[in-house]
Amino acid sequence: TYGRSPGPELRLKQGARLALRFDNGLSEDSAIHWHGIRIDNAMDGVPGLTQAAVAPGDSFTYDFVLPDAGTYWYHSHNRSWEQVARGLYGPLIVDEPEPPAVDHDLVVMLDDWRLFEDGRQAGDFENRHDWAHGGRLGNFARALLPEDVTVHSGERLRLRFINGATARIFDVSVSSLAGQVVALDGMPLRRPTSFDKVLLAPAQRMDVIADVTAASGEPILMEMATRQGPYELGRINVDGQAPASSHGEIAPLPPNRWPEPDLDKAIALPLVMQGGAMSRHRVTGGIWSLNGQAGMGEAPFHRFDRGDTAMIEMRNDTAWPHGIHLHGHHFQVLGKDGQLGPLRDTVLIDPRGRQTVVCQFDNPGKWLIHCHMLGHQAAGMKTWIEVTS
């Protein structure tokens, strides 16, 4: 499984310890970020904030406990707009102590690439036109599945969708499945919701448990809409009929332990996205900014005491969507009805839109906040917070 992209699937049990030595065989610095895992700050893998970059030929040992079951992933966090686009990422799956009964548990990595006609990947990863618009969108996309996957009609599947693209928002229809969404960004939903399509910003994840309704010989198709019609991303072949069995209702996954936010004492903070093409605001020192600042400043966006709850109004004053990712924590989006939504680590905010997120900051350290359209991050849309111990 090595020497390929995506990288090897790492699968461990909840509560297990992951000790992994990262050997940098590149000709440039690199590091690994463990996306969505609530771990010690020193293991978060952000050069210049939580560790020094791993130089060519050097190594770094990541060693941490996996506190939460769910679907996560790992990827480079040094020159990530290029290194992730070139394939430095892979799935990290943390199984529940007693996983739900399914016939197949499959990871589906969604990605796109910008390719020449001969299949070579195009360069120019620092194209400022891309960075100022929607990011580096590929001309070829796929849903990457384990090789030679075949299922039977009537079987129950757990599909773990991960958007590993650097810019593309995937809106994917999936045929011949009847089921429910049971988790988002690794965290179980309190009540599973109906499954009609996969809509994921870069870095977001969705777990679906569903029964195969296709007849033998009829594939499960994963497609996205284009101006030229449906574009097939991938398929799962269906061959044969499963023995009659009663799977029963799809039950919620066991919840991960989570600190409840204190809304009565929440600190209200604005986080305003500005810049990019067709902007009404001029950005100094970059293409994009958060609260008027392009790139990392010496002072954090905010310094929290451990246990503080924040209510952050994220306002997108740009002409482009942004997927804002918070390291080391999950948060909840505050609905228009005043109710808190599912736990997420990345939120998609539409052009000229806004979302209010609520988070209890209980994990000490310095944590990055950035757009996971990685060209936007490279061009200034990033900041950091500090949680004191």
What does each C-alpha distance from 164 to 112, 151, 263, 372, 374 come to in angstroms?
8, 25, 33, 10, 11
Q: Please list the residues that pair with 72 across neighbouring strands.
A: 92
Helix (H) or strand (E) holding 198, with range, is strand 198-200
What pLDDT score does 351 carry? 98
CB 90 within 8 A of CB 8: yes
Structure tokens at 322: 């942004």
- Rounded to whole angstroms, the Cα distance separating 187 from 207 reads 9
Q: How many CA atoms lie within 13 A of 332 on its CB side?
A: 22
Structure tokens at 99: 């996983």
What pLDDT score does 281 carry? 84
Place of tokens 């870069």: 202
Estimate to the nearest angstrom the gap between the alpha carbon of 131 and the chain centroid.
19
The residue among 378, 318, 375 whose CA lies nearest residue 138 is 375
Cite the DSSP H helix spans in the chain.
80-83, 128-132, 374-378
CB-CB neighbours of 333 under 10 Å? 18
Pairing of strands 229-241, 150-153: parallel
pTM: 0.97
Estimate to the nearest angstrom the gap between the alpha carbon of 302 and the chain centroid.
24
User: Vertex 70, ends 143 and 252: CA angle to 5°?
Assistant: 105
What pLDDT score does 67 carry? 97
Mean pLDDT of residues grouped by 10 in the chain (389 residues)?
Answer: 84 98 97 97 98 98 98 98 97 97 97 96 96 97 92 97 98 97 98 96 98 96 94 96 86 93 96 95 93 95 97 98 98 94 98 98 98 98 96
CB 340 within 8 A of CB 19: no
Q: Which residues are CB-contacts of 7 (< 8 A; sequence separation ≥ 6)? A: 1, 74, 87, 88, 89, 90
Going through 114-186 in order, the beta strands assigned E by DSSP cover 140-144, 150-153, 156-163, 170-174, 177-184
What does each C-alpha distance from 365 to 359, 379, 384 come to in angstroms?
15, 24, 10
What pLDDT score does 333 carry? 97
